[in-house]
């Protein structure tokens, strides 16, 4: 048995196409483009790449991109003042402060400053609470992208056993909440879980978001299960001095057992920016008081 490979890149392209169509509709109805503001503090190379990608994707979707690049030594008060100005700017529908921030800036304090209705990263405690109690809000992009891939693959998730490996606020906890909302039976596993392979073995759905290269082995997987690998780990390649990207799941081993699996790269990764654009567009429709056509994105 060889698992079907879930093509996140292809799904993300389709989602971006639908977003572009709706973004044009929004502009026609509101007289302005939906606007996404991204704030980058410092020179972190990975963050610079992400911000550049997000800017390009925003413009390609027919939305307005507002980039604010600040020096690494920017005082926390100045960063907070910028966020407050973006909260008040009617041209800005979504605000994303790129993490990590320099050590002198309190990430939680900065995130708490963002208007929850413009918090397209879904990190504000208000949006975490809305997700927990089933109210409309913004969900972190990566777990929402994972849910989209699961529903596209499986249809209804009701009654399925799901194991989420990892309990971060960014992926693990919101992923568990989303699966609960779909009527899954959800176990959140982590580094302290006893008999982790046995826990994973009973799952119809496995979401691995633990940040350990190829930790989840093929013999941990229930035959026919759907495996979503959120991990992105850089490890040494066979060729000296070279590296390669791997997930949190041993792809080769799991592919022999699972029914379907996301690859790394090309699985969950492309979904994150696509869902960010989706969240920004949803924010724009809400902020403008325009009804978003249901089931479109």
Active site residues: 54, 98, 121
Measured distance CA(266)–CA(5) in Å, rounded: 10
Closest CA to 250 of 224, 212, 222: 212
Count of positions (residues) in the chain: 297
Do residues 148 and 293 make contact, with C-beta atoms less than 8 angstroms apart? no
Taking the CA atoms of 66, 67, 70 and 74 in sequence, report the sign of the dihedral they define: positive
State the DSSP code for 235: E
Pairing of strands 233-236, 243-246: antiparallel
Angle among Cα 236, 208, 245 to the nearest 5 degrees reads: 20
Quote the crossing angle between the two packed helices 172-181 and 141-154, to the nearest 10°: 40
Hey, is 130 helix, strand or coil?
helix
Burial, 180: exposed, middle or buried (Cβ in 10 Å; 0-12, 13-18, 19+)?
Answer: middle
């Amino acid at each position: 048995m060889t698992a079907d490979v879930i093509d996140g890149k292809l799904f993300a392209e389709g989602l971006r196409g639908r977003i572009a169509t709706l973004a044009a509709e929004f502009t026609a109805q509101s007289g302005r483009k939906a606007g996404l503001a991204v704030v980058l503090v410092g020179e972190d190379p990975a963050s610079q790449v992400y911000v550049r990608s997000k800017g390009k994707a925003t413009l390609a979707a027919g939305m307005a991109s507002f980039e604010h690049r600040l020096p690494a030594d920017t005082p926390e008060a100045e960063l907070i003042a910028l966020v407050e100005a973006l909260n008040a700017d009617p041209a800005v529908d979504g605000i994303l402060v790129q993490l990590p921030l320099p050590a002198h800036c309190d990430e939680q304090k900065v995130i708490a400053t963002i208007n929850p209705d413009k918090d397209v990263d879904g990190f504000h405690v208000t949006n975490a609470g809305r997700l927990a109690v089933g109210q409309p809000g913004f969900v972190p992009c990566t777990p929402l992208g994972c849910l989209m891939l699961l529903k596209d693959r499986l249809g209804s998730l009701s009654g399925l056993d799901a194991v989420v490996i990892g309990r971060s606020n960014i992926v693990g906890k919101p992923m568990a909440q989303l699966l609960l909302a779909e009527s899954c039976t959800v176990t959140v596993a982590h580094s302290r879980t006893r008999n982790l392979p046995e826990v994973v073995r009973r799952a119809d759905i496995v979401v691995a978001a633990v940040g350990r290269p190829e930790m989840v082995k093929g013999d941990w997987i229930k035959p026919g299960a759907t495996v979503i690998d959120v991990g992105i780990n850089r490890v040494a390649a066979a060729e000296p001095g070279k590296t390669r990207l791997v997930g949190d799941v041993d792809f080769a081993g799991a592919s022999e057992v699972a029914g379907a699996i996301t690859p790394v790269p090309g699985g969950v990764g492309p979904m994150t920016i696509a869902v960010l654009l989706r969240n920004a567009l949803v924010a724009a429709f809400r902020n403008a008081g325009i009804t978003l056509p249901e089931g479109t994105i």
